[in-house]
């Protein structure tokens, strides 16, 4: 059997990793400033993370959601404390798309309405409602197009007001910092405006923090830069530092009932151990603060490079915009400078999404390499 060929691959085979260092099968070292699509939050093979998962594996890897699993409660407790989102309940699943799928479903259950508002250049995943709310027709199959989604430009107050007149929308789903789309952000005024309008019109506000959450933006959640309170928050990626896990934080004003949501694998013992380890390291090593500080340092350093036209994003969720397409630059960065970086829907943008415990020295190395590659 061969693999279903859907990924254009670089000719690199990583076999070992530690922190932001990754080695390929020929012993070549790389620096990982991309974390495999913003997944690596506390660094590859962090000793506490490895220990926690190994110990859990020795005890028990999995049982379904039909028995007590105190690890889920411990995780909810810790997550509530660290994120300051103690007024929310946790539902666990396995990926970002699944988190958004459940968030959208909750919104529709709650309001009884069918339509969704999403924004230009959004990315929310590849499953049914999540992909329909993703602004990329090429990954929407006819079956997904049955979902009714209204796409609006970010920060367009009038368009938003007009769209909600119909009273058909159950949810607004928004990334506080767009990831795949290219690091554009709603302004605080716009975020506050839509939060208020959602309350007035019985629309559920979903903050997709799959990429921007878990400290990456310099606050636990990126929406916290804007002084708003979403109804549902979706999480994944950095939550497990590579272990496939996702979830939604559902405001406690939503009432659960047996069978409303469900999953076989979501919230399993190993996923909880991995997720607890991530939160413990985030707290112990002050990684959210580190992301904020190093984000500022990164932006300062970026001003030294004239080819960079714009620096977008917050904390360690950064996009460097050039006046040319960056595909070749990215290739040079990986094949010649041995550094992983990311691309975006905006082809002129190079994405920088390292683990949150990088140092100033790592950033200096990145800029030295970038200068050479340019």
d(CA 250, CA 91): 8
Tell which positions 2-61 bind ligand PLP, by CB under 6 A: 37
DSSP 10-25: -S--EEEEEBTEEEET
d(CA 309, CA 123): 24
Residue 263 vs 293, nearer CB to ligand PLP? 263
Residue 35 vs 179, nearer CB to ligand PLP? 179
Pairing mode, strands 246-251 and 204-208: unpaired
Of the candidate residues 20, 79, 97, 279, the single one contacting ligand PLP (CB under 6 A): 97
**From 74-82, 122-130, 196-204, 311-319, span contacting ligand PLP (CB under 6 A):** 122-130
d(CA 307, CA 318): 16
115 touches ligand PLP (CB under 6 A):
no
Q: How far is the CB of 97 from ligand PLP (least distance, A)?
A: 3
DSSP 216-278: TTSSSSGGGGTT---SEEEE-GGGTTTS--EEEEEETTSPP-TTSS--SSTT-HHHHHHHHHH
Q: How many residues bind ligand PLP (CB under 6 A)?
A: 15
d(CA 75, CA 372): 44
**From 73-81, 105-113, 120-128, 188-196, span contacting ligand PLP (CB under 6 A):** 120-128
Residue 102 vs 211, nearer CB to ligand PLP? 211
d(CA 139, CA 125): 10
125 touches ligand PLP (CB under 6 A):
yes
175 touches ligand PLP (CB under 6 A):
yes
- Closest residue to ligand PLP, judged by C-beta, is 96
337 touches ligand PLP (CB under 6 A):
no
d(CA 90, CA 250): 6
Of the candidate residues 44, 113, 115, 124, the single one contacting ligand PLP (CB under 6 A): 124
Q: How far is the CB of 8 from ligand PLP (least distance, A)?
A: 16
Q: How far is the CB of 177 from ligand PLP (least distance, A)?
A: 9
Contacts with ligand PLP, 185-214, as mask; x by CB under 6 A: -----------------------x-xx---
Residue 182 vs 295, nearer CB to ligand PLP? 182
- Structure-block tokens of residue 186: 């709603």
Q: How far is the CB of 299 from ligand PLP (least distance, A)?
A: 22
CA dihedral 312, 313, 315, 317 (to 10 degrees): -100
177 touches ligand PLP (CB under 6 A):
no
179 touches ligand PLP (CB under 6 A):
yes
Q: Which of 291, 305, 304 is nearest to 359 (CA)?
A: 291
Residue 184 vs 208, nearer CB to ligand PLP? 208
d(CA 142, CA 198): 29
Q: How far is the CB of 211 from ligand PLP (least distance, A)?
A: 4
**From 123-131, 271-279, 292-300, 352-360, span contacting ligand PLP (CB under 6 A):** 123-131
**From 10-18, 165-173, 175-183, 217-225, span contacting ligand PLP (CB under 6 A):** 175-183
Of the candidate residues 104, 180, 272, 349, the single one contacting ligand PLP (CB under 6 A): 180
Helix H, strand E, coil C: the string for 64-111 is: CCCCCCHHHHHHHHHHHHHHCCCCEEEEEECCHHHHHHHHHHHHHHHH
Q: How far is CA 242 from CA 17, 81, 100, 239, 355, in A?
A: 12, 22, 19, 8, 11
- Residues interacting with ligand PLP, by CB under 6 A? 37, 95-97, 100, 123-125, 175, 179-180, 208, 210-211, 236
């Amino acid at each position: 059997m061969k693999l279903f060929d859907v990924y254009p691959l670089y000719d690199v085979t990583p076999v070992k990793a530690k922190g932001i260092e990754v080695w390929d099968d020929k012993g070549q070292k790389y620096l990982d400033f991309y974390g495999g699509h913003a997944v690596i939050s506390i660094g590859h093979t962090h000793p506490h993370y490895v220990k926690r998962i190994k110990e859990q594996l020795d005890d028990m890897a999995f049982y379904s959601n039909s028995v007590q699993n105190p690890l889920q409660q411990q995780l909810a407790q810790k997550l509530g404390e660290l994120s300051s989102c103690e007024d929310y309940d946790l539902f666990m699943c396995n990926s970002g798309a699944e988190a958004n799928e459940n968030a959208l479903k909750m919104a529709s259950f709650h309001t009884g309405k069918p339509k969704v508002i999403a924004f230009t250049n959004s990315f929310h995943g590849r499953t049914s409602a999540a992909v329909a709310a993703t602004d990329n027709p090429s990954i929407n199959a006819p079956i997904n197009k049955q979902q009714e989604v209204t796409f609006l430009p970010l920060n367009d107050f009038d368009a938003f007001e007009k769209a909600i007149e119909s009273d058909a929308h159950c949810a607004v789903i928004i990334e506080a910092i767009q990831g795949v789309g290219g690091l554009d952000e709603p302004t605080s005024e716009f975020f506050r405006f839509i939060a208020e309008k959602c309350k007035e019109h019985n629309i559920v506000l979903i903050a997709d923090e799959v990429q921007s959450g878990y400290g990456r933006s310099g606050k636990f959640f990126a929406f916290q830069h804007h002084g708003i309170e979403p109804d549902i928050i979706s999480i994944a990626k950095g939550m497990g530092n590579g272990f496939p896990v996702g979830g939604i934080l559902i405001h406690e004003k939503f009432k659960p009932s047996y069978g409303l949501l469900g999953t076989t694998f979501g919230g399993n013992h190993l996923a909880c151990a991995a997720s607890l380890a991530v939160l413990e390291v985030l707290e112990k090593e002050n990684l959210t603060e580190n992301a904020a500080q190093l984000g500022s340092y990164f932006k300062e350093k970026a001003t030294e490079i004239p080819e960079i036209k714009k620096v977008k994003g917050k904390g360690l969720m950064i996009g460097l915009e050039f006046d040319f397409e960056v595909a070749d630059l990215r290739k040079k960065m990986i094949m010649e400078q041995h550094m992983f970086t990311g691309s975006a829907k905006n082809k002129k943008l190079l994405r920088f999404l390292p683990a949150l415990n990088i140092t100033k020295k790592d950033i200096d190395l990145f800029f030295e390499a970038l200068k050479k590659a340019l």
